Chains A and B, each alone.
Chain A
Amino acid sequence: MNMSVRAKETIDACRFCWMCRHICPIGRATGQERNTARARALALSMVERGAEKLNSVAENLYECALCNACTHDCLTGWEPPAFTLEARREAALTGAMPAAIGDLVRRCMEWGNPFAPALPEETAKALREEERPSDTLLYLGESARYKSVASVRQALAVMKKSGAGFTVLAEEPSSGYALHFLTGDTEETVAQYKKCAQVLGQFKKIVVADGNDLLVMRRYYREAGVETAAETVSLWRFLSEQAGGRLRRGMQGAFTLQESCALARDLEEDDAHALAAALGEPAEMLLHGKECVFAGSLLMNEYIPETMACVAARRLEDAARAGAERVLVCDPSEYELMRANNAHGIEIVGLAEAVLEALS
């Protein structure tokens, strides 16, 4: 396989190592042995040795959420998502990609997103109303725009109430998140990065609503040598700075926070946590902050919906055990999937919505 030396070394380190299985949200939700870093590494090591064909084990590559919990937990510092991404790239380039993934990639190329050819009418209308000249852009991301009308509505409302001047793009370019997730840094992915960076460059500040987009813009653009002059900031940091002092501390009932793994773990930003703490006294789930647990991806929901349902339901069990009556959710994907798989009667609230209510 055409992979970096580091990826091959990681595969050989992880293939016989059992130490991070407990932390994998997919493994935990499905109970399947294949959903471990070691299983993926073992399969790829067999491909590398000519004992297995990439296409016969490829499906499993896309069951990893690239949430980096294993990386964070690894005491020797290996990064399984890095080899997984390189293997996805290899699968894309050698025709070993499963058909369902191929379809999503085609959609990303044709539609500019993996979900739909056009925005939901309500979202399109809301965005048209908010387009105005400004040097601050609220970047919503494709998960919210195509799949979570509520997240769009909440983000727009809280931005307005915060008093910030901002605009949105009815024709928002993809950050490249989906293509990167599905195929790694292929030429096509980098072309999307460049196109997006060019548009972002027309603004001074980009307020990014989805942690996954911010991670791509901050980390993967840099790794691919793509630059943008604009300053990127998460919605939560922006709101903390803009309106943190104006929040009413009156949230009733026990609540907990579902952080964005990309923000809390990969980018080490805890603004969402600070916002939640300003609203009341959150009941922490056992794994939070840098150890927070992935609770679902709308992109993965396109091809493994049962798994995503289990993942979201599992996270809600954690919230229930922490005694929470309400979960404040940061990312649009997790917001939608937790709402759709809520067996505990817990109230699922967007963090933006909670901040909106508390803003005087």
Chain B
Amino acid sequence: MNDFLFTQILTELEEAVGRENCSVREIDRLTHSVDYFWLSRMWADRGRHMPEADFVVSPKDAQETSKVVKIANYYKLPVTTWGGGGGTQGGAIPVCGGILLDTKRMDKIYEINEEGMYIECGAGTIYKHLEWAANERGYATMHYPSSLNCSTVGGFLAHRGIGVVSTKYGKIDDMVLRMEVVLPNGDIIHTSPAPKHAAGPDLNQIFIGSEGTYGIITKAQMRIYEQPEARRFRGFLFKDMHGAFMAGREILQKFKPSVMRLYDDAETASLIKKIVGVEKPGAFMNVAYEGVKELVDVEERILLDTFKKYGAEDLGSEYGEKWWKEKITFFYPGHMMDLPQMFGTMDTIAPYDKIEKIYLAMKKAVESNFPQAKFIAHFSHWYEWGCMIYDRFIIEGKDVPQDPEEAMRLHNAVWTLGVRTAIENGGVVNDHHGVGIKLGRLMKEQYGPAMQVFEGLKKSLDPNGIMNPFKLGM
């Protein structure tokens, strides 16, 4: 772009959001070019610049966001929305340059509605700050992902995120009542006043998971919950995974634990041993149940009786409590995988009749085609009908090419094979990290002709294709 046009657009954006909230400085462009995606980190680690936006803007609300989007539409500039940059799929990286729209100034707590049990907030609110606002009134958000500290309300909605107590309280898409969204043409819309209705398809669910490709979420009403009277933990060791799946499935027919995490033998012997201290071989399962104390007493009895039938060794409450205390420690440097290692989480989800088969097929495919890769998994977020696999591959630094292009080749090959195997065996491209640029190529393989529904929406809402190009396979 020539200097003249560049400056012209800059002044228009400055007028829209205020000069101090519009930047072309290198520090802002650089820090918005690397998110939590392994490839972006590797690229920077090798001293290479990731694609940077030309302009970084921070609107304070929907009105300012609308002005930015209108300018972008006129000049046909890409707009990439950035919340916390904590996404793992490269969704927030401005791969085509243009405008990077950071939502974090939209962090106002508009209302804490104790009668309706929700908080209305700006979509750029860091979820931990929402939790603090709930805690100050004696409530909780019950959305506890490991990125609670760093990711935004809008980011979780745009990615269909999930937290550790989801089995009882649900995914982010179960926790939102209403949203305000700025469409690609600058119109500001609101979804229906209540999430459950028979007034046509659910507008919320069209924008949830759309990763900034259909519009920008600017405000949301998020549910809050009473703090549980009791929260108890119990650790179990299963001899084999099959018994553990069956036990978990049976429990879900009876009641909903808050936490339910089953670690395969490899993850039990590595991460769980290191952080929680379980030394014995087998598959560790951590269960938490919570709520009104009398109900928790009953749930505990049902849990112990059910798991006993499947031969689970009861490890008591100590490991579970330690796990709860350490649940985010796993993600700090020194505890978490980090460069020079190559790693990735290929989370997928399926009904109980397929989940074990998918796990075994993915493990076999990755380990036999990439003998340098280790494959570990845990199963969290259980439903009455199935559960999700949080499976990871890890390649030690010595086996990761130093050359960034070669490293990208290896990375993408492992991912393609792993996710394709999941799809072929009845799984979904992703469970809760989203698609981004990382998995866009596999969306058509997943959906086939159904993809035209997404594409049709995209074409009519965003005819100039400015919103987050090359993400979500669109």
Interface centre among B20, B44, B102, B339 (most CB of A within 10 A): B44
Using C-beta atoms within 8 Å of the partner chain, give the interface range for chain B: 35 or more
Cβ–Cβ contact B339 & A33, under 8 A? no
B36: interface (CB < 8 Å): yes
B27 lies within 8 A of A45 (CB) = no
The contact of B149 among A19, A31, A60, by CB within 8 Å, is: A19
Chain B residues with Cβ below 8 Å from A164 are none
* B28 & A42 in contact (Cβ 8 Å cutoff): no
> Is B31 part of the contact surface with A, judged by Cβ < 8 Å?
yes
Interface residue? B256 (CB, 8 A): no
A286, B104: Cα distance in complex, Å: 21
B133: A residues at CB distance < 8 A? 321
B161 close to chain A: CB less than 8 A: no
Mark contacts of B17-32 with chain A using CB atoms, 8 A cut-off: 1 yes-contact digit, 0 otherwise.
0001000011110111
**Contact with B41, one of A16, A74, A321 (Cβ below 8 angstroms):** A16
Q: With a CB–CB cut-off of 8 A, which chain A residues contact B32? A: 33
Known: A31-B124, A33-B102, A45-B44. A17 touches B333 (CB 8 A): yes
**A18-B149, A57-B26, A57-B27 known; A32+B47 contact, CB < 8 A:** no
CB contact between B332 and one of A43, A59, A75 (< 8 Å): that residue: A75
Chain A interface residue count, CB cutoff 8 Å, equals: 39
- Given contacts A17-B333, A45-B44, A78-B333, A32 and B104 within 8 Å (CB-CB): yes
CA–CA, A35 to B20, complex, Å?
14
A252 interface residue (CB < 8 Å to B): no
Interface check B334, CB cutoff 8 A: yes
Contacts between the two chains (Cβ within 8 Å), count? 109
Known interface pairs A19-B149, A22-B126. Does A56 touch B26 (Cβ–Cβ under 8 Å)?
Answer: yes
A51 is an interface residue with CB less than 8 A from chain B: yes
Inter-subunit contact A33/B149 (CB<8 Å): no
Within 8 A of B (CB), among A64-115: 74-76, 78
- Residues 299-347 (chain B) with a chain A CB within 8 angstroms: 328-329, 331-335, 338-339
Chain A proximity of B148: nearest CB distance (Å): 8
Give B444 Cβ to nearest chain A Cβ, in Å: 31
Whether B28 contacts A19 by the Cβ 8 Å rule is no
Q: Taking the complex as formed, is A358 at the interface, i.e. its CB lies under 8 A from any CB of chain B? A: no
Q: Chain A residues near B147 (CB, 8 Å)?
A: 18
B104 and A19 within 8 A (CB): no
B34's closest neighbor in chain A, by CB?
Answer: A42
The winner among A14, A33, A50, A59 for most chain B CB atoms within 10 A is A33
A286 in contact with B136 given A32-B28, A33-B82, A57-B26 (CB within 8 Å): yes
Is B107 among interface residues, defined by CB-CB distance under 8 A?
A: yes
Judge whether B332 and A32 touch: CB under 8 Å. no
Cβ of A76 and Cβ of B334 under 8 Å apart? yes
Q: Which residues of A contact B331 (CB under 8 A)?
A: 19
Closest residue of chain A to B100, judged by CB? A33
When the two chains form their complex, are residues A32 and B58 in contact, meaning their CB atoms are under 8 A apart?
yes
A286 and B27 within 8 A (CB): no
Is B257 an interface residue, CB under 8 A from the partner? Answer: no
Q: How far is the CA of A59 from the CA of B32 in the complex (A)?
A: 17
- Return chain B residues, CB-CB under 8 Å to A15: 44
**Bound: A42/B49 CA distance, A:** 11
Query: Is residue A316 contacting chain B, with contact meaning CB distance below 8 A?
Result: no
Q: Which of A36, A52, A59 contacts B30 (CB 8 A)?
A: A52
Residues of B within 8 A of A21 (CB): 84, 126, 149-150
| Nearest CB of chain A from residue B325's CB, rounded to whole Å | 11
Instruction: Determine if B255 is an interface residue (Cβ-Cβ < 8 Å).
Output: no
Contact partners of B25 in chain A: CB under 8 A: 59
* Cα A32 to Cα B20 with chains together (Å): 11
| Residues of the A chain whose Cβ atoms lie less than 8 Å from the Cβ of B438 | none
Cross-interface CB contact of A28 among B84, B86, B129, cutoff 8 Å: B129
Asked if A20 CB lies within 8 Å of chain B CBs, one says yes
Residues B187-225 near A (CB distance < 8 A): none
- Give the docked Cα–Cα distance between A60 and B30 (Å): 12
Known contacts A28-B126, A52-B26, A57-B30, then 5 further A-B pairs from the complex at CB < 8 Å, ordered by chain A residue:
A14-B333, A32-B58, A42-B31, A43-B30, A322-B136
Could you pull out 21 A-B pairs where Cβ atoms are within 8 angstroms? A16-B36, A16-B41, A18-B84, A18-B149, A18-B150, A18-B151, A19-B332, A21-B149, A22-B128, A28-B129, A31-B106, A34-B27, A42-B30, A46-B30, A49-B46, A51-B47, A52-B30, A60-B27, A75-B332, A76-B334, A286-B136
5 tightest Cβ-Cβ pairs between the two chains A and B: A18-B150, A49-B47, A31-B105, A31-B104, A39-B31
- Residues of A that sit less than 8 Å from B by CB: 13-23, 28, 30-34, 36, 39, 42-43, 45-46, 49-52, 56-57, 59-60, 74-76, 78, 286, 306, 321-322
